[in-house]
Chain A
Amino acid sequence: MDKRQPTAPTEPTLAQIFDRGLLEENPALRQMLGLCPTLAVTTAVTNGLGMGLATTFVLVCSEVAVSLLRHAIPKTVRIPAFITIIASFVTLVMMLVKAYLPALDEALGIYLPLIVVNCIVLGRAEMFASKHGPLQAAADGAGMGIGFTVALVLMSAIREVLGAGTLLGARVLPPFIEPMIIMVMPAGGFAVLGVLIAASVWIEEHPRHRHRIVKRRVGPSASLCAACPINCGIGDPTDDMCAKDEFVEMLEAAVTAARKEAEEREQ
């Protein structure tokens, strides 16, 4: 991990907390968290938008709940407690969607209950809400959620236009252009996300935008964040507790050590 800046001594304002999630720490494009729904449901704009808003609701509610309960939950059982809180709100969303938007429920299928294992939600609960007041937690949840929604809508707009020739169900491409069906297939999902992440890196690197970006760079560790299969303790590669850099080596070392132990036991 490159130079780690000490965290600013002044408390960031609510607007700054909210703003962070939009581009600088966009969950899908910069932190690369929650990639499963990002890839899976973004075949049409309505699905992307629905998924984004559902996740935003869960994020805001569970962050506020975790924040309010942060002194009541013992540290050792906090992860199961967070998961239970998140799962409750996911259940709530599922009931609402099923009751009022049955078409969306049909389209999102199992990805709706899977919000519960979306790394963003647990990541923000552990990394932000458990350390801040309910107002800040709500601002953080809203910022991260809307940033995630924007990424999902952007991605599904590209895939819907190129893959089906429509936008929000209305035809936008002239009939003589054949839709590229591959774009709404799984392969197109990976490719569009790859290009979008590259584009967001390019925008951030571009001198014209540079002054906008607070210099708390996520840098090369952003890819390491996705490289972490622990879904997802900290969710922030700049956090001191985050061991993503050492993660792979640690894994290798653990395998070697455990093998050695097993061999010794056999002898």
Chain B
Amino acid sequence: MMAQYASILFSMILVNNFVLVKFLGICPFLGVSKKFDSAVGMGAAVTLVMVLAIAVTWPIQQLLVAWGLEYLQTIAFILVIATLVQLLEMALKRYVPALHASLGVFLPLITTNCAVLGVAILVVDEGYTYPEALVAGLGAGLGFLLAMTIFSGVRRRVEEAEPPEVFRGMPITLIAAAITAMSFMGFSGVIDHLFGA
């Protein structure tokens, strides 16, 4: 049982990394990865929102299925996530100002982050149980955090390099992301060996 959860967690972090393998949340990945602090803050905020979003959307999906309204999934999820993020920001500001200081400012930015909606839909498609879905959400968030952290380091070097004129800015950043993604290819198969899944 424990191995099952560990397998989901690590496969979401390493093998199915949301940014570098599934290409979800590319905008913040390329945008906020310039500074290490922002990258970590953004990653942590995304992790928190992912877990909470799944905690809410998974039961909602069960209701939609029970009422035969599966086709409303997209509309329901995006509105629920947007509302949830708003409420979370208000709650943090009021009750946990210290956490709001480090994570709160990133929250409005991830309302319509495709990674959050993506993970909510993904765990439903995979047919995970409630605890499995929550673990998958945690893994997806931690994977995002890991990619952000690694890439902010890579990015510092890239910013100081002098590529040909037309490659300056976004093109060379994408090439650097390609090489980072290549390093994550080394993880495929790791989970099968570790957990025999």
Contact = CB atoms under 8 A, between A and B. Distances in A.
Chains A and B are bound partners: yes
Interface of A: 32, 35-37, 39-40, 80, 83-84, 87-88, 90-91, 94-95, 109-110, 113-114, 116-119, 122, 182, 185-191, 193-195, 197-199, 201-202, 205, 220, 222-223, 226-232, 247-248, 251-252, 254-255, 258-259, 261-262, 265-266
B79 A229 contact: no
A239 to B, nearest CB: 17
B117 A229 contact: no
A36 B22 CA distance: 9
B174 to A, nearest CB: 3
Contact of B23 (A189, A199, A220, A266): A189
Interface string B143-175: 000000000000000000000011101111111
A193 B174 contact: yes
Given A194-B174, A198-B166, A198-B171, A83 B27 contact: no
B6 interface: no
A220 B27 CA distance: 17
Nearest to B125: A110
A84 B114 contact: no
A119 B173 CA distance: 20
A117 B170 contact: no
B101 interface: yes
Interface string B16-36: 000011111111101110110
A266 B41 CA distance: 21
14 contacts: A35-B30, A36-B25, A91-B74, A110-B121, A114-B118, A182-B182, A189-B181, A194-B174, A194-B178, A198-B171, A202-B166, A226-B27, A229-B27, A231-B112
Main secondary structure of the interface of B (DSSP, over half): helix
Interface of B: 20-28, 30-32, 34-35, 37-38, 41-42, 71-75, 78-79, 82, 97-98, 100-102, 104-105, 108-110, 112-114, 117-118, 121-122, 125, 165-167, 169-175, 177-179, 181-182, 184-185
Given A223-B169, A248-B38, 7 more contacts: A91-B72, A110-B125, A116-B78, A229-B32, A232-B112, A251-B32, A252-B38
B112 A36 contact: no
Contacts of A202: 166
B188 to A, nearest CB: 9
Nearest to A231: B112
A222 B170 contact: yes
Task: Identify which of A122, A232, A261 gathers the most chain B CB atoms within 10 Å of its CB.
Answer: A261
